[in-house]
Chain A
Amino acid sequence: MNKQSYDLVVIGGGPAGLAAAQEAYDQGVKDILIIERDFELGGILQQCIHNGFGLHHFGEELTGPEYAQRFMESVADRGIEIKLNTMVLEVTPEKMVYAINSTEGMLEIDAQAVILAMGCRERTREAIGIPGSRPAGVFSAGTAQRYINMEGYLPGKKAVIVGSGDIGLIMARRMHLEGASVEAVLEIMPFSGGLTRNIIQCLDDFDIPLRLSQTVTKIHGKERVEGVTVSKVDDNLRPIPGTEYFVECDTLLLSVGLIPENELSMEAGVELDSATGGPIVNEGRETSIEGIYACGNVLHVHDLVDYVTEESKLAGKTAAYFLQDKIDKRKERVEVIAGNDVSYVVPQQITDKVADRKRVDLYLRGRRPLENVRIIIKDGEQELFNKKERVIKPAEMITVPLSEKMIDDLNSEQIEIKIVKEGA
């Protein structure tokens, strides 16, 4: 076996891995390797050709490939080593990384620190269990996105899209502009999971109907999809008998959620959070194994890549500080609990003392759409933070800053963050 060693190995060359590597380098770690299984860097951004990236981080609106290329260039400028077409097969708790490619064969890489940045994958038809036959023409929306935007073919002429998250909405516009007819976007929930901007620019602009509280209950067709049965659902998301109707189509796109890609993390023994599907991390994005970090969609599914960049720089910096022995642990670790109407919060723990830190940002998601609420953080009985928010949507991540002073002064070993209706 081909043996190598690096101070820092970054697994995944998407925006998360690139930002993490760049930041670790800028913090003084020079012996870095990025491992990417695809033939090029950039991750999923290469297929997200639409605009809307970077407003937050660069102050201008970029497309996915443009955003990716900026980080690819900055990693290249720094001369950071990259292995493409290389698949990581295993990471051990001792931070041995096993990978394979066709030029070097099996690699055994001894790493002092590892950053997990493998992104996420899409849920499939199996995951949501639509009955019916198994004809061709059923795709996950991301697969269709890659076909249309990178490989150059349209998966069909008449499509129904299940799921109104951003990927589903973006694909509705893309299919429409490429000449397909999009019959409807169906959403099982009573609200869309996508950004308002995408509902307007992807559906309303082209009169594509969004049907809430409806889902596909049967797929028809032998060789190829010939249509789907659509049903309304009740409050418990169960199809209501008698509401079925038939929609003719040759393509069904499923945009039914993303799952952090954590097979490697699990095998390494990294503890996962069932609410995020990603590792449990501290405020520096360190997992339950010292020296192993996680950032980007492998940690929790982000709606904006800008936050991926922010978070990944943090992970890169913490990894550098770890390698340089610059981290002190707090006496007691503080658990951050997702309370009322909060579906998850990242980080789940605050454990470190970092000299030059000014604040810790908590990333959280609301459980359901709400108006006129307060976001409250409690340290025991004491209220640390209390802020009004006009609108909360599960699709849009909320950032709450905790100042270093607040963190220094924490009394309990547990803080709770919750969303409450104003006046309640």
Chain B
Amino acid sequence: MKQELITCISCPIGCDVEFEVVAGEINNIEGNRCPKGKDYVITEYFNPTRILPTTVRVKRGVLPLVPVKTEEPIPKKLLEKAMKELAKVELEAPVKLGDVVIKNILDTDVNVVATRDLAKR
């Protein structure tokens, strides 16, 4: 039996959630103020994921870059690999918020989308 602690970051409160891991299963979850805390701890313990916000290059835009994000969280261990994939991309202005920049990045079933409109220069 092991006493574990993960700080839930589903919201800014940041509950310190304590739990035990017995035979690869999470038990006795305590300290979370809402049900999200439980889900968070389970995911964070077994398969931590993150949304990746970054930028990609754009040709002929009012700015040289457009911000993008993964539509859903992707495994934490893939963040740096995903950055390398995104470094290869160059879009052409105009870009619309929600435009898919990379489909199914690194076989995660998650798309990378633009997070703002970017007009042509």
Kindly provide the distance from the CB of B117 to the nearest chain A CB, expressed in whole angstroms: 7
- Which positions 47-81 of chain B face chain A at CB distance < 8 Å? 50-55, 57, 62-65, 67, 69, 76, 79-80
Asked if B32 CB lies within 8 Å of chain A CBs, one says: no
| Residue interface bits A18-46, CB-to-B below 8 A is 1, else 0 | 00000000000000000000011000001
Contacts of B69 in A (CB 8 A): 49, 51, 63
Q: 0/1 per residue, A45-66, Cβ < 8 Å to B? A: 0100111000100000111011
Interface string of A279-298 (1 = CB under 8 A from B): 00000000000000000000
Contact call B53/A151, Cβ cutoff below 8 A? no
A177 at the interface (CB under 8 A from B): yes
Against A, the Cβ 8 Å flags (1 = close, 0 = not) of B21-59 are 000000000000000000000000000001111110100
Cα distance A148–B56 in the bound complex, in angstroms: 11
Q: Which residues of B contact A242 (CB under 8 A)?
A: none
**Complexed CA–CA distance, A55 and B11 (Å):** 8
Report the Cα distance A282→B76, complex, angstroms. 46
B55 near A149: Cβ-Cβ < 8 Å: yes
Given contact pairs A39-B62, A196-B7, A201 touches B116 in the complex (Cβ within 8 A): no
* B67/A152 in contact, CB under 8 A: no
Neighbouring A residues of B54 by C-beta, 8 Å: 49, 177-178
Taking CB as reference atom, which chain B residue is nearest A204? Answer: B7
Given A49-B55, A177-B83, A149 contacting B65 (CB threshold 8 A): yes
Among B7, B12, B63, B80, the most chain A Cβ lie within 10 Å of the Cβ of B12
A69 / chain B contacts, CB cutoff of 8 Å: 97, 116-117
Q: Is the CB of B115 within 8 A of A196?
A: no
Counting chain A CB atoms within 10 Å of each CB, the highest count among B9, B50, B57 belongs to B9
Cβ < 8 Å to B, chain A residues 268-313: 303-304
Question: In which size bucket is the chain A interface?
Answer: 20 to 34
Determine the distance from Cα of A324 to Cα of B64 in the docked complex, in whole angstroms.
Answer: 45
Q: How far is the CA of A69 from the CA of B67 in the complex (A)?
A: 12
Residue of B14, B51, B117 with most chain A CB atoms under a 10 A cut-off: B14
Task: Evaluate contact between A66 and B116: CB separation under 8 angstroms.
Answer: yes
A195 at the interface (CB under 8 A from B): yes
- B residues near A49, Cβ cutoff 8 Å: 53-55, 67, 69, 115
- Chain A residue numbers with a CB within 8 Å of B52 are 177
Q: Which residues of A contact B80 (CB under 8 A)?
A: 177
Q: Which of A39, A69, A151, A197 has the most CB of B within 10 A?
A: A197
Interchain CB contact under 8 A, B65 and A177:
no
Distance to closest chain A CB from B15 (angstroms): 9
CB <8 Å contact, B51 and A51: yes
Tell which of A51, A148, A195, A200 touches B12, judged by Cβ atoms closer than 8 Å. A195
A-B contact pairs, 30 of them (CB 8 A): A40-B62, A49-B53, A49-B54, A50-B53, A51-B51, A51-B53, A51-B69, A63-B69, A63-B115, A66-B116, A69-B116, A149-B65, A149-B67, A150-B63, A151-B63, A151-B64, A152-B55, A177-B52, A177-B54, A177-B83, A178-B83, A196-B7, A196-B9, A196-B14, A200-B7, A201-B9, A201-B50, A303-B12, A304-B12, A391-B13
Q: Which residues of A contact B (CB under 8 A)?
A: 39-40, 46, 49-51, 55, 61-63, 65-66, 68-69, 148-152, 177-178, 195-197, 200-201, 205, 303-304, 391, 396
The 7 A-B residue pairs with the shortest CB-CB distance, nearest first, are A196-B14, A197-B9, A65-B116, A49-B67, A152-B64, A63-B115, A50-B53
